[in-house]
Structure 1
Amino acid sequence: MVAAPLIAFVTTHILYLKCYQFDYDLNMKACAIMGVAEVLIWGVWAGISNHPSKWKIWVVTISEGLIILFQIYDFPPYKGFLDAHAISDAIVVPVSYIWWSFIHDDSEYRTKTLMKKAK
């Protein structure tokens, strides 16, 4: 129910950019909207879920919020080498590891839950 409108929006956005006109400002706005929607959806899920690894989702959502802020509010390089884009790229690496760690934990949790129901 949540995924269908998001997939439709992303598909329409990509087709517009590819087939009609590539508008950088529109693309940044759409990506920011999708990023905020993702953070809100996962934040709500983590807030109402009883998942044992939901702390990982909190870390990911907070980190992704920071990534979005650094991408939108870009600042010039500090002492010529560290700018907002570099910081957001540095945040992505540990967030990716935590995200995949959550997916692994979730698959084990779901499997255990299904195995308990099958008995």
Structure 2
Amino acid sequence: MQEPASVLFSLLNLLAHVYGVSTLKEHVPASYKLRAYYLWFGYFGYASWTFSMMFHTRDFVITEKLDYFAAGASVMYGMYYSPIRIFRLDKPGAIDGKTGTVLRLWTMVCAALYLAHIGYLTFVRFDYTYNMAANVVIGIIQNILWSWFAVQRFRKVGRLWAAWPGLIVAWLILAMSLELFDFPPWWGMVDAHALWHLGTVGPTIWWYNFLVKDAQEDLQSVRLKA
């Protein structure tokens, strides 16, 4: 095992997604439309962190590509479902007055972007700088969307949990800074990249707790209107 600390912290992230999926299934009814989108977020997390463990266990060409491609898929899926929740694209006619048109278009755009990204890395050039930049840009867009959503949601419900997305974004930005300020590994195995993996465990658990709270509030408001 080449990087045991990174493997261990990747495992903790995987377990955080296992916890999240289990919590969603237990506390959010299957009838809630956004539940499926949230569960797929967890399934992408399963793949991403499983391949991360494989890559940090042994660095081969295939394990590296699986790690990068799975991580990219997870980041892109985050970009995909964020506007669906924030702008409720799951509701027919939410924006354009037509049944699911915007959602289908958004799905095709995200799928095309991801396939183009993978195609470039596979058939043109496996460019580490480009890959990092692409993921960072997509991540920043998500962070901005969720920070804006947190402000709007808090104003609407007036409860602290509604502001959680903004706080989680702040935590992730701090954790990501570890990738920018690298240092020699402690004890030969705990480096900045490993600590970045460790730093995402807490926000992941917190994020699933927010999704459950948000879904329950959404369902409650529907019942009250009915």
Settle same-fold status: TM greater than 0.5. Answer: yes
Instruction: List aligned pairs for 1:15-94, cutoff 5 A.
Output: 15-50=119-154, 51=157, 52=159, 53-78=161-186, 80-94=188-202
User: Which one of the candidate residues 96, 100, 104 is aligned to 2:208?
Assistant: 100
Letter in 2 for 1:70: L
Q: Quote the Cα distance in structure 1 between the aligned partners of 2:186 and 2:149.
A: 37
Number of paired residues?
117
2:217 corresponding residue in structure 1: 109
Percent identical: 26
Q: Quote the Cα distance in structure 2 between the aligned partners of 1:11 and 1:76.
A: 36
Q: Quote the Cα distance in structure 1 between the aligned partners of 2:216 and 2:167.
A: 20
Q: Quote the Cα distance in structure 2 between the aligned partners of 1:104 and 1:20.
A: 42
How much does 1:78 deviate? Answer: 4.3
Letter in 2 for 1:25: T
Does the CA-based 8 Å contact 1:70-1:87 persist in structure 2?
Answer: yes
Kindly provide the CA deviation profile for residues 18-72 of structure 1, in whole angstroms up to 9, marking residues without a partner as x.
3433211110111111121121111111122234322321221011212332223
Cα–Cα, structure 1 residues 66 and 11, in superposed 2: closer, same or farther, change >3 Å?
Answer: farther
How much does 1:81 deviate? Answer: 4.6
How much does 1:96 deviate? Answer: 0.8
1:10 corresponding residue in structure 2: 114
Unaligned runs of 5+ in 2: 1-82, 85-105
Q: What RMSD in Å do the two structures reach over aligned CA positions?
A: 2.4
Q: Quote the Cα distance in structure 1 between the aligned partners of 2:122 and 2:192.
A: 28
Q: How high is the TM-score relative to the length of structure 1?
A: 0.79
Q: Could you say what secondary structure the match of 2:184 adopts?
A: coil
Greater RCO between the two (CA within 8 Å, min separation 6)? 2
Give the stretch that moved more between structures: 102-111 or 41-50.
41-50
2:88 corresponding residue in structure 1: none
Cα–Cα, structure 1 residues 54 and 76, in superposed 2: closer, same or farther, change >3 Å?
Answer: farther
